[in-house]
A and B are shown apart, each in its own frame.
Chain A
Amino acid sequence: MWDGIGDFLAMGGHAPYVWGSFGMVAAIILCEWLLLRRRRQRTHARLSRRARTSNTSS
C-alpha cells in the first residue's frame, strides 16, 4: 500500500495536516496522562503524610 517509509511519511503531500493532527492528539493524551499521574502522586503523598502525623499525635 505504501511505497516505503518516505511515501508513508509524505502522506501524499498531506503530511503537515495528517501528522499535525495525530501528533497533537498524541501530545495532549500524553500530557493529560502525565499531569494526572503527577496529581495522583502528590495527593497520595499528602494524604499519607497526614495519616502519619495524625498517628503520631494520637
Chain B
Amino acid sequence: MSARSIPWLKYAAPPNFYGLADRLTPWLWAGAGLLFLVGLYVGFFVAPVDYQQGNSYRIMFIHVPTAWMGMFLYLLMALYGMIFLVWRIRMADAMARAIAPTGALMTFLALWTGALWGAPTWGAYWVWDARLTSTLILLFLFLGYMALHAAADDRDKGGRAASLLAIIGAVNVPIIYFSVNWWYTLHQGASVIRRDGPSMAPEMLAALLIMTAAFWLYCAAIVLRRAQLEALEREPGAEWAQAAAAGALTREQRERAAATATIGDVGDHDEGDTLTGNTATKQEGRN
C-alpha cells in the first residue's frame, strides 16, 4: 500500500499543510477570543464565591486548563516525535517543534498559577509534592526537547534525538495525572473527571470547561502558525514557500509543489513505496 493513499498524509506535504493551517487559524483565533471573553465573564460574574476558599478558587479557571494543555501538548509532541522517528515525515517534526514552546509556556503557567493558588490555600507557594514535582519535570522535558533540537547542526539529527527524549519523557504524563491517587499529596484530587461526576457547582464547571476550550483553540492556532513558519524556514528557496511568504500562494502552485514535495527521506532507500515524489527538491529542505 502506498503511503500516499492514507488520506491525512496529504497534509504531510508542507504546501498542503500550509494551506490547511491558513484556512483553519482565523477560525481558531476567533473561537479562542470569543470563548476567553465568555469564560472570563462566567468565571467572574456568574460562578459564585467558594464557601471554603473565597475568591482565590477562581484561579482554577486558568490553572486547570493550562495544566491540562501542558500534559496534552506533551503527549501530542511525543506522538509527532514518534511519527517522525518511524516514518521520517518531516512535517511531523515541524509540528512537534512548534508545540514545544507553547507546551512549556502552558506548563509554566500551571506552575505559576498553582503557586499563587497554593499560597492562600495551603500557606505555601511551593511544596515538593508528587504532582508539583512531576509537573516541574514536565517543564524541564519541554525545555530539554527545545534545547536538544536546537543543539544539533543537522536539523533531522536534532529532531531524532529530541523526539526520542519526548517519547521517553511521555511516561511522566500518567505520573502527573495519577500522582494524586498514587501518593499522599497536598494537591487535591480530580474534581472534574471522577466516577460520581464533577464535584463543583455547575456554573464553576461551565466556566472551567469554556476556559479549557478557549485555551485549546488558542494553542491550536499558535502551534499551527508556528508550524507554518517551520515549514517555510525549512524550504526558503522553494517557489511555494516564497509565494506563501508574499501571501500569494495559489491553489495551483500549492498542488504542484505538494505533488513533488519532500515529505520524508524514506524514498531515498525504497523507490517502490516512496514518500518522496521528487528528490530534486530535497536539497532545498536542508539549509
Partner-B contacts on A (CB < 8 A): 1-2, 8, 11-14, 16-18, 20-22, 24-25, 28-29, 32-33, 36, 39-40, 43-48, 50-51, 54
Contact = CB atoms under 8 A, between A and B. Distances in A.
Contacts of B31: none
Interface stretch (B80-88, B111-119, B192-200, B253-261): B111-119
A51 B242 contact: yes
Given A21-B116, A43-B229, A47-B236, A1 B245 contact: no
A1 B55 CA distance: 12
Contact of A50 (B55, B226, B237): B237
A40 B225 contact: yes
B287 to A, nearest CB: 11
Contact of A25 (B113, B120, B222, B232): B113
Interface of B: 44-45, 48-49, 54-56, 58-59, 62-63, 66, 101-102, 105, 108-109, 112-113, 116-117, 119-120, 218, 222, 225-226, 229, 232-233, 236-237, 241-247
20 contacts: A11-B54, A12-B49, A14-B54, A14-B120, A17-B119, A18-B56, A20-B116, A21-B112, A24-B109, A24-B112, A28-B108, A36-B225, A43-B229, A44-B246, A48-B242, A48-B245, A48-B246, A50-B236, A50-B237, A51-B246
